[in-house]
């Protein structure tokens, strides 16, 4: 299979990076994401995992991918896929329970009350542990190959200046 690439962007900040899909390590997840592109939504900066930005998206795969190429210690440039039930995110500690409930309830596959979290890790020293749920393994499905330095700078600005009005988007490159 030929290598596949996507653009990951923070549109308001006008910054993007290019990532290679890890088809050899997470083929089911890569295929599901590729077939659903473009994807995106409001961006959030992680509270628990540290150097992570992500968007919550309604389910898009015919069937949720298995936990292929899992990690609890993502490295800079990793793109990760997480599946959560809307009730897992429905506590005030997260700050977006209404959005999580809405995204889970109005998904294309409305019989599933799940929310997909597509994340970009932009710096070192991440640990996927959550005070409410414990370990939260993610599927590593992509790796940034160009522009991580610019994206990391924008992510730090997002952390300090705020995420309001910003979107995280994934498109075919």
pLDDT per position as a tens digit, 90-117: 666 555 545 544 444 443 444 458 899 9
Q: Which of 6-15, 69-78, 88-97 bottoms out in mean pLDDT, i.e. has the lowest?
A: 88-97
Question: What is the average pLDDT across 118-145?
Answer: 94
Q: What is the pLDDT of residue 110?
A: 43
User: pLDDT class for 31, splitting at 50, 70, 90?
Assistant: very high
Residue 140 has pLDDT above 50, yes or no: yes
Say whether 159 sits in a helix, a strand or coil: helix
Q: What is the pLDDT of residue 48?
A: 80
Determine whether 118 is exposed, middle or buried from the number of CB atoms within 10 Å of its CB (0-12, 13-18, 19+): buried
Question: What is the average pLDDT across 29-56?
Answer: 95
Q: What is the pLDDT of residue 87?
A: 74
Outline where DSSP puts E strands in 11-151.
15-21, 39-45, 52-57, 70-71, 78-85, 114-121, 129-130, 134-135, 138-146
Predicted TM-score (pTM) of this structure:
0.89
Residue 148 has pLDDT above 60, yes or no: yes
The better pLDDT of the pair 114, 76 is held by 76
């Amino acid at each position: 299979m030929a290598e596949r690439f996507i653009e990951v962007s923070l549109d308001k900040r006008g910054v993007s990076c290019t990532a290679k899909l890890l088809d050899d390590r997470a083929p089911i997840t890569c295929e599901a994401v590729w077939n659903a592109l473009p994807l995106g939504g409001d961006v959030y900066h992680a509270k628990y995992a540290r150097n992570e930005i992500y968007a919550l998206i309604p389910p898009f795969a015919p069937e949720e991918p298995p936990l292929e190429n899992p990690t609890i210690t993502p490295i800079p440039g990793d793109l990760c896929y997480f599946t959560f039930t809307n009730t897992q995110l429905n506590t005030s500690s997260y700050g977006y329970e209404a959005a999580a409930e809405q995204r889970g309830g109005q998904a294309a596959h409305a019989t599933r009350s799940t929310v997909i979290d597509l994340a970009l890790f932009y710096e070192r020293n991440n640990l996927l542990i959550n005070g409410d749920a414990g370990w939260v393994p993610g599927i590593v499905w992509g790796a940034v190959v160009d522009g991580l330095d610019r994206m990391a700078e924008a992510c730090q600005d997002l952390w300090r200046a705020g995420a309001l009005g910003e979107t995280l988007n994934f498109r075919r490159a």
